[in-house]
Amino acid sequence: MPYPPSDSTQSIDELEKQLLATWKNERLFTRVSDATRYGPPFIFFEGPPTANGRPGIHHVFSRTLKDLVCRYHAMLGQGVTRIAGWDTHGLPVEIEVEKSLNISGKRQIEAYGIERFNKLCRDSVFKYKTDWESLSDRIG
């Protein structure tokens, strides 16, 4: 499948959007995965990011290395299953929410209201979900 023609006057951002759209329209990841579905299984459990921060360049680096391992096994004809983790352990999330409310500790949380505090913690976890999904799409 050839790459679409590119315009040298396009910005890098425009070119990236065009390439991502091509990958999505052609269902590239799914097609590659389907091609080796019935091969000997190779299951890859990806260690999860924490749920209280945006992805950084170090995440791109580690995701790239993990992806290379999976692609290598797919090229060997193995059926690669990728299982991604999502670490939502409470302490970092709670600390972030406490800082945003300018409170600290059990007594102040109880005074604020445990139910309200828990809702803010859940909202905080999902605040970064879109950023992580976007990173996964953008690095292919």
Domain boundaries in the chain?
A: 27-138
For residue 103, what pLDDT band results from cuts at 50, 70 and 90? Answer: very high
Q: How far is CA 69 from CA 2, 38, 46, 52, in A?
A: 25, 18, 11, 27
Residue 116's pLDDT band, with cuts at 50, 70 and 90, is: very high
Distance, in Å, from the CA atom of 111 to the CA atom of 114, rounded to the nearest integer, reads 8
- Quote the pTM value: 0.67
Give me 8's structure tokens: 């040298």
**Position 117 pLDDT exceeds 60:** yes
Beta bridge partners of 84: 46
